[in-house]
Amino acid sequence: MKRGSPLAAALRRFRRNRWAVASLIALAVIAAAAAAAPLIEAMLGIDPEAVDLLARNAPPSVAHPLGTDELGRDVLARLLRGGQISLAVGLATAVIAAVIGTIIGLLAGYYGGPLDALLMRLTDGVIALPLLPLLIVLAAVDPSKLGLAPEVLQSPLAGVGRIVVIIALIGWTTVARLVRAATLAVRSREFVRAAVAVGAGPARIMLRHILPNVASPIIVATTLSVGNIILLESALSFLGLGVQPPLPSWGNMLTGALELIWSAPALAVWPGALIFLTVLAFNFLGDGLQDALDPKAETMQVRA
């Protein structure tokens, strides 16, 4: 990497933002701990699904570092397993939504005219819908009515996939509007006109010439959306419409702790704290990437 390259300059700007760097480190630690859940469970000799009704709501101990829940299951193991689900839902949904929004934004910005008007009115219509009530209605739809195979519906990950699809189908609008605006600015530049002049097709122009130049807002919007998606998944799981037990997620762990909030508040504190920390870290990381990828922000870099 050349010292004077745009990427090197972006990395320098990012490193100056201490909150963004700290957030990246925190997210890396959380993701690494979640990924290492099987190893940690083997080292401690615990099973996240093992029920022990004689050890319900036990305090922290050597055998159970964070205690046990209302069914005697190890809280630490379930937090790590729940982190796998919550992070996977957030990242997968954000990527899928970004792909949908990028396609719509590129088509609208490049072609313009009636297609632009149609796609933007569709985007405005989706934005106008009340988000959480719509998600609740979609999540409550019986998937067996869609003709899916029973073995697919009975899979433990079927609920996770359904949440990813539902949120992604209505979460692409921000990326679409950003990509459209950036495409409108890029399509009139000289290198795009030169590509048109030499006979390059629309698909090649959009993928090879426009998309790399509108990648910055896509990256920033996708990063910022992960935190919101984790919140939405947690809200749906808390309402019993998201990830279903026995598969743990931070949201349904909060549901299980609701009735014990006064007698065993730690059961709600741990998943709530991880949701809060993860969402906050993704927001700080997104802000840091926005400043780093914008050369005009050089003089406005946060010096915390």
Q: Which amino acid is at 110?
A: Y
Q: Is 62 helix (H, G, I), strand (E, B) or coil?
A: coil
CATH number of 6-300: 1.10.3720.10
Burial class (CB in 10 A: 0-12, 13-18, 19+), 268: middle
pLDDT at 299 over 50: no
Place of tokens 């349904």: 252
Place of tokens 């997620």: 249
Task: Dump pLDDT digits (tens) for 2-59.
Answer: 555 667 777 888 888 899 999 999 999 999 999 999 998 888 888 888 888 888 888 8
**Where exactly are the structural domains of the chain?**
6-300
Please list the residues that pair with 10 across neighbouring strands. none
Burial class (CB in 10 A: 0-12, 13-18, 19+), 270: buried
Tell me how far apart the alpha carbons of residues 149 and 238 are, in angstroms, rounded to a whole number: 27
pTM: 0.85
Q: How confident is the model at residue 134 (pLDDT cuts 50, 70, 90)?
A: confident
DSSP string, 7-34: HHHHHHHHHH-HHHHHHHHHHHHHHHHH
pLDDT at 304 over 50: no
Task: Dump pLDDT digits (tens) for 62-118.
Answer: 888 888 888 888 889 899 999 999 899 999 999 999 999 999 999 999 998 899 999
Q: Is 212 helix (H, G, I), strand (E, B) or coil?
A: helix
Higher-pLDDT residue of 179, 302: 179
Task: Dump pLDDT digits (tens) for 149-167.
Answer: 666 566 667 778 888 888 8
Q: What does pLDDT average to over the chain? A: 84
Query: Residue 65 has which token pair?
Result: 């570092």
